Structure 1
Amino acid sequence: MNEEPLLATGKRRFAPWLIEPMMRNRGIYMKVAVAAALINIFALVSALFTMTVYDRIVPNDGAASLVGLSIGLVFVIIFDFVLRLLRVYFVDVAGANIDHDVGETLFAKLLALRLDHRRGSTGALTGLMRELETLRDFFASVTLTALIDVPFIFVTLTVIAMLGGVLVFLPLAMIPVVILSGILTTPALDRMSSRSLGDGLLKQTVLVETIGSLETVKAIGAGPMLSGRWQKALISHSESSLGQRLISSIPMTVANSASTIAYCGIIIVGVGLLRSNEITTGALLACSILCGRALAPLAQIATLLSRLSATRVAYRQINALMDAPSEGPQGDALHPGVLRGQIELRNVGFRYPGSPEKALEQVNLTIAPGERVGFLGRVGSGKSTLARLVLGLYEPEDGVVMIDGIDVRQYDPNELRRLIGAGMQDNVLIAGTVRQNICLDRAVVDQDEMIRATEISGTHRFMGPITNGYDLRLTDRGDGLSGGQRQSIAIARALAGRPQILIFDEPSSSMDAQTEAELITRLHPEVQGRTLMLITHRTSLLALVDRIVVLDKGRIVADGPRDAVLQKLTRGKAA
């Protein structure tokens, strides 16, 4: 994993995952800035046109001059229209580029996230990914437009001062009022934004949990309980969102009222100046038009301040995810081409996050290349934990886990797992075709290799006769298939590509005795010469191994040849 970019002072740069994509689009932003500048300049033209008509054209009956001015105004309006479209287009292009880059970075970070540092449920994480859009919109579009328009407030005020003199003080006095209203509401808005985000993530959690296990929810009658949670989450989120909207509307309402006050003030004061001949009618009208233009960006600032709180909360949440440790070494990772298959654990201890007891403690184990080892033990004895540590899904709390004499933490996790065939206990399938679930876009797994693996696992027996067999699209987690069919596909996925190391965790738990016996017959020649870690409670599967390791309460209590260990276990039960 690359180290995070640092400034010359040694301090970490602010959100490089967001700032760097924005910097790569600075050329587009320059075009947006130029377009915005011209739009603000053209906005002065309509006021100056009005002043010229009332002060020059009307008194002198200059119809020809009016035609000329009108033609010029038409060109200005056309250019203004085109520039506004271009500004929207450029902002959207930059936003889409940033959305792609940041979204890709965030998804890669999610895949590389160490499981022992994962925080929150699946629903909370998916909801957090949605907050990326809030962050991107603030930094990529809303903020940019407001920042470009703000300096032209003073340009417009300067023109008002040139035309109307003291009239400029009326809109000028409204600026601090709007800014102050935004500043004063910020603390309350921060609290409501944080609460609203938390309530939204909770609602997302209930929704994802229910949809993801809808069949189970129906079967066990958990609907009323989850409905209660959903109703509670809805009420809480609606209350916090209502409070957030009400508070955020205060600065915008103040900005609109300030604009009205300034406009009416210019008319009232301007009439007095007009009577004393200090300004002309055209100047008064121009100043009233420019007043609205000068204060329009203040509404954007008010909106910006109201969105700043939500953005700040979203940034803290996403940045916490980006700052979480990633899998693999901090420097350059090792990229193994092949594995010999030696596995060694030295004084390994491990505790799951939040667990009061260790899942493994002082485990020492060596598996030679090509050795086939079965792991037995009660539920919770640490068998599956061993498999997770060998795969690098978790890092040991104590000791070291090595493959081919190298700490697994030095390997690139993706490259390491590409060389290991793993069939885990959950047998989760990915939405897509059966072919995609088995091949996983791996170049080494072509059609012939896929068919070979499915014939061994038994998948070909029920997929081969179907017209669109391997192109059959599966829903999330393989719903619609039986547990045995899902297991069969998972085994084929592990075998495809002929990996030197195979890890199977309860590979036949959902299969009947006959299907399991046929699977063992086909697997026996396949596992010869490969390193095999077989976790099971079924003694029939032990025909595939020549050594057994027994675990109890996270410790190895027996280790030896298969037949000797089985005889010892049988005598222990008899006693």
Structure 2
Amino acid sequence: MSGFINVLQLTVPLFMLQVHDRVINSQSTDTLKLLLAIAIGAIILYGILDFIRALIFQEMAKSLLRRLNLPAISAAMSVALEKGSIQGTQVLRDLSDLRNFINGNTISAPLEAIWSPIFLGVMFALHPFYGIAGLVAVLVLIGLSLLGDLLVRQITKEGTDANLRNIGDIGSTVSNAEAIEAMGMLPALAMRWRQSQVHASELLDIGNVRSKGMYSVTRSARFGMQICVLAMGAYLVILGETTPGAMIGGTIIMGRLLLPFDNV
């Protein structure tokens, strides 16, 4: 289904290519009407298939949740007995995050990415320079995604773990509030917890800053590469090696080719 959806996403650039190169040159309204009818039908089919795929993901998430509910609760109880209630509830939060991942838009990114050779092949068909530019752009975005993962993953994990430990500590403190108050330990414990909380927040803030920075770099790189492809297409048109329709279509296909890698 994802394969059909990706093929149908070629409708707009191919329609624009045919309109520029065939309809305008031939001045044929019959050709325009036929192309328009085909394009509208393809777009309607695309919308139907995309909606059906979303429903499939939703049913997959519900089925997974039903199957893992009891094992997750058992695991949460075991972890709670060994490491505390905060760590136990984290198991259930992980299950909820997994359900949201399957039910959201993120899961479609790898399914879109595996069909990228279709778009890359169309770009090579338009002109070898388009295909080379698309291949280089994909490799650049993959490299930026890997770099972002290296910069963000570990420090975010450290910040999350530290935050969970702090929540567990304050939970233990509250449960023994009377004894702590009687012994006069509350100010010292509050200061220690505050320092730990600040440290965890700093780690999470560093991770967020790096993540947002890499997102901005990746998005800027994608837009820049699309502009370069448009400029290259204009240059090829000037040289007479391609057509204006191919220039516009290649630019749109380039944006669609890079979109899954921008979301990784």
TM-score under structure 1 length normalisation: 0.41
User: Contact 1:178 / 1:251 at 8 angstroms: preserved in 2?
Assistant: no
1:100–1:206: structure 2 CA closer, same or farther, 3 Å change rule?
farther
Which residue is equivalent to 1:181? 144
1:226–1:130: structure 2 CA closer, same or farther, 3 Å change rule?
farther
SS of 2:263's partner is: helix
Which residue is equivalent to 1:412? none
Which residue is equivalent to 2:14? 48
1:59 aligns with 2:25: yes
1:290 positional shift: 0.2
Q: Select which of 100, 104, 111 maps to 1:148.
A: 111
1:103 aligns with 2:89: no
Alpha-carbon RMSD across the aligned residues, in angstroms, is 3.0
Identity of counterpart residues, as a percentage?
Answer: 21
Which residue is equivalent to 1:273? 236
1:224–1:250: structure 2 CA closer, same or farther, 3 Å change rule?
same
For 1:216 and 1:90, the matched residues in 2 are separated by 53
1:62 positional shift: 2.2
User: Contact 2:18 / 2:245 at 8 angstroms: preserved in 1?
Assistant: yes
User: Contact 1:206 / 1:226 at 8 angstroms: preserved in 2?
Assistant: no
1:252–1:54: structure 2 CA closer, same or farther, 3 Å change rule?
same
- Cα distance per residue 1:267-310 (max 9 Å; x no partner): 11111210122111111100000000000111133xxxxxxxxx
SS of 1:279's partner is: coil
Question: 1:153-302 residue pairs with structure 2 within 5 A?
Answer: 153-206=116-169, 208-209=171-172, 213=175, 216=178, 224=187, 227-228=190-191, 230-301=193-264
1:227–1:130: structure 2 CA closer, same or farther, 3 Å change rule?
farther
Q: Select which of 76, 80, 83 maps to 2:46.
A: 80
Which residue is equivalent to 1:472? none
Opposite residue 30 of structure 2, the aligned amino acid is A
For 1:101 and 1:67, the matched residues in 2 are separated by 51
- Cα distance per residue 1:50-71 (max 9 Å; x no partner): 0011111122222333233223
For 2:74 and 2:48, the matched residues in 1 are separated by 39
For 2:192 and 2:129, the matched residues in 1 are separated by 61
Alignment: residue pair count: 263
Question: 1:250-399 residue pairs with structure 2 within 5 A?
Answer: 250-301=213-264
Q: Select which of 121, 124, 137 maps to 2:84.
A: 121
Opposite residue 83 of structure 1, the aligned amino acid is L
For 2:199 and 2:260, the matched residues in 1 are separated by 34
For 2:233 and 2:211, the matched residues in 1 are separated by 34
- Cα distance per residue 1:319-348 (max 9 Å; x no partner): xxxxxxxxxxxxxxxxxxxxxxxxxxxxxx
Which is greater in Rg? 1
Structure having the larger proportion of residues in helix? 2
User: Contact 2:134 / 2:257 at 8 angstroms: preserved in 1?
Assistant: yes
Any unmatched runs of 5+ in structure 2? none
Q: Select which of 76, 91, 99 maps to 2:57.
A: 91
User: Contact 2:237 / 2:243 at 8 angstroms: preserved in 1?
Assistant: yes
Which residue is equivalent to 1:570? none
TM-score under structure 2 length normalisation: 0.84
Which residue is equivalent to 1:377? none
For 1:254 and 1:104, the matched residues in 2 are separated by 43
Which residue is equivalent to 1:351? none
SS of 1:278's partner is: coil
1:41 positional shift: 0.9
1:133 aligns with 2:96: yes
1:156 positional shift: 0.1
User: Contact 1:170 / 1:266 at 8 angstroms: preserved in 2?
Assistant: yes
